[in-house]
Amino acid sequence: MNEKAESPHLWDNPSEAQKTLKERDALNASVSRIASLEQAVIDHSDFIKLAEEEGDDALLKESEEALLMLKRDVDRLQLETLLSGEADGNDCFMEINAGAGGTEAQDWTEMLSRMYMRWAEKRGFKMTLMDENPGEEAGIKSITVQIQGKQAYGWLKGESGVHRLVRISPFDSNARRHTSFSSVWVYPVVDENINVQYEEKDLRIDTYRASGAGGQHVNKTESAIRITHIPTGIVVQCQNDRSQHRNRAQAYDMLKARLYERELRMREEAHNAQSASKTDIGWGHQIRSYVLQPYQLVKDTRTGVEKGNAHGVLDGDIDEFLEAALAHKLVE
């Protein structure tokens, strides 16, 4: 790959050049990461031998703790190497919709979107708002974002499902406990290597005024785009840009992603007869429960993983759930 990247004819084909450089950089990062882990294991193993010879209990304890941390890094790296699905390496779209619970559920939807935003920030991923439908009193009815980062879809695809919140409602003057639901749906961004077929005659395209706080342009111009794929009933919409043309292009990208995700899901259903599609956003369908009252606990109903620091989870500390979901999927 280095030889290809250093070829004087590399940029004769710009798209191929970018692909080559991206692949080379990814391979280089992987090799460097493994080499760093290997060296760290060797170093701390040597430190342990030295500590035992010299009776240095402090150095012994420090090195043993470092090796335990390295084991977690290696376990995580092993999971990453198993992200070998057709679209696991792609960026993704994430759609969050409020379900049963009214204003409570809309506030919960906003809390979930912040949780994923914080997770993306910690990973150095980029999150771009594509569409947002705010609630009347508080929160968000629905939101769609694009998440760009290494293996974003592979890591987040297991988040698709219904998320349940239990807490004392800040909107209830009687301070009663409420249960709210929001659904999360993750689908991969389709790159140039994936060909998605659809007929223009099967599409209905509507324009409308963008919602939100924004100024004269938002109030007076029908720049937002909604595309409905009539045969499947799939609906996508985009209003994040002032330009109708750019919103239209992004909406087409979202449609292709949804159609591709549908194809992946149909293949999976044919293989294991389990559906990953949307279900009712309410009781009995949740994949994870977040309990803030009367105690704090976040529990994944599929993997059994639990964390007592619910506020930490809502601040983006969800790697343990993502890793468990991936491992669970691989076992299946």
Which CATH class, in words, describes the domain spanning 87-332?
Answer: alpha beta
Spatial separation of the C-alpha atoms in residues 49 and 69, rounded to whole Å: 18
- Work out the pLDDT band at 207, boundaries 50, 70, 90: confident
Percent of the chain with pLDDT over 70: 88
Spatial separation of the C-alpha atoms in residues 329 and 87, rounded to whole Å: 15
How confident is the model over 205-219, as a mean pLDDT?
62
- Tens digit of each residue's pLDDT (9 = 90 or more) over 229-284: 999 989 998 987 778 888 888 888 888 888 888 887 777 666 554 444 455 555 55
| pLDDT value at 140 more than 90 | yes
The better pLDDT of the pair 144, 279 is held by 144
Query: For the chain, what is the mean pLDDT?
Result: 85
Tokens of 138: 């508080």
Break the chain into its structural domains and give their ranges: 2-81, 87-332
Nearest to 182 by CA among 324, 90, 314: 314
- Tens digit of each residue's pLDDT (9 = 90 or more) over 22-61: 889 888 888 998 999 999 999 999 999 999 999 999 999 9
Q: Are 288 and 308 in contact (CB under 8 A)?
A: no
What DSSP character marks residue 192?
T
What pLDDT is attached to residue 217?
A: 44
